[in-house]
Amino acid sequence: MQKRTLGRGGLEVSAIGLGCMGLSYGYGPATDTRDAIKLLRTAFERGVTFFDTAEAYGPFKNEELLGEALAPVREHVVIATKFGFADGEVARGMDSRPEHIKQVADAALKRLQTDRIDLFYQHRVDPNVPVEDVAGAVKELVQAGKVKHFGLSEAGAQTIRRAHAVLPVAVLQSEYSLWWREPEQDILPTLEELGIGFVPFSPLGKGFLTGAISETTTFDTTDFRNVVPRFSPDARKANQGLVDLLGGIAARKHATSAQVALAWLLAQKPWIVPIPGTTKLHRLEENIGAAAVVLTPGDLRDIDAALAKITVRGERYPPHLQARVGR
């Protein structure tokens, strides 16, 4: 697989990474450990070198899983993890106090079975801690050799600038896809100006853009899509036109809808690296195959023209979660 560089600090990763959250958290019951390890190691064998986790995924279980699965190939992969929630519990709210960041780093190093964190994100901006203090704490971890690169997640443009002035931000991670294009307004121009890489999570619209989800699909009771307005049955029915559009383009390109959605992201900027997640080996292979799908300038114009006629229904988060983003 081709490589891409995120930020100006030389962080080189595979053009498509792997979002690992769903193996342990958020989308129903955790994947069997043996199956999850097989998937992670297969991803590496197929060229994926960029793996995304967080202490909050479980909490802690996802980091432990990656630590075990990637130990044999640790020197050949980039592991990103995150800090920022009290005791790793999303429900307990944010905690990015400098002393807590350092505690999380030390605990994550043990769980990941490694001596350094390649990319350390603030999971969400903490309104109670100046981002300059956050960047300063990570800077000390960089100086100590425990962290290689600093990242932010779902931060607004001004926060990015303030953090970057203290410690260069290598990566911003936020949602971006064919059905959530808000980052194009302020975020992408800011990142381009500052030389910061972009890692879109939910690049397949939390599964919707694959075409495998319809208005009648039901989710496990622990699946967080149950509380996402965009996944209400009415919204799914209204948004089917976007999936149909993707399917038509995919047929012409001899690809799948998911592959076109990922290829579209890759075509936006050379410093964008999507991290689709999956628990299934065949979906992993499909997602990796997107790196070989080439969309021409004409294809991209056609997609943009078609998207301009489609209004996506439903908010991407319920209000209590939306309040944590874009700060």
Domains defined along the chain, listed by start? 3-322 (3.20.20.100)
Per-residue confidence (pLDDT) for residue 251, from 0 to 100: 96
Are 56 and 23 spatial neighbours (Cβ–Cβ below 8 Å)? no
In order of 176, 179, 300, 312, the CA distances from 235 in angstroms are 19, 12, 25, 8
Catalytic residues: 57
Per-residue confidence (pLDDT) for residue 254, from 0 to 100: 96
CA atoms within 13 A on the CB side of 57: 26
Paired with 78 in beta bridges are: 50
3-state secondary structure string across 109-153: HHHCCCCCEEEEEECCCCCCCCHHHHHHHHHHHHHCCCEEEEEEE
Per-residue confidence (pLDDT) for residue 28, from 0 to 100: 93
Nearest alpha-carbon partner for 223 in 29, 88, 33: 29
Residue given tokens 């976007």 in the structure block: 242
Per-residue confidence (pLDDT) for residue 134, from 0 to 100: 98
Per-residue pLDDT of the chain (327 residues; tens, 9 = 90+): 999 999 999 999 999 999 999 999 999 999 999 999 999 999 999 999 999 999 999 999 999 999 999 999 999 999 999 999 999 999 999 999 999 999 999 999 999 999 999 999 999 999 999 999 999 999 999 999 999 999 999 999 999 999 999 999 999 999 999 999 999 999 999 999 999 999 999 999 999 999 999 999 999 999 999 999 999 999 999 999 999 999 999 999 999 999 999 999 999 999 999 999 999 999 999 999 999 999 999 999 999 999 999 999 999 999 999 999 999
The reported pTM is 0.97
Sign of CA dihedral 322, 159, 24, 13: positive
Annotate 129-141 with b (16+ C-beta within 10 A) or e (fewer).
bebeebbebbeeb
Per-residue confidence (pLDDT) for residue 78, from 0 to 100: 99
Q: What DSSP state is assigned to residue 80?
A: E
Q: Rounded CA gap, 20 and 31, in Å? A: 11
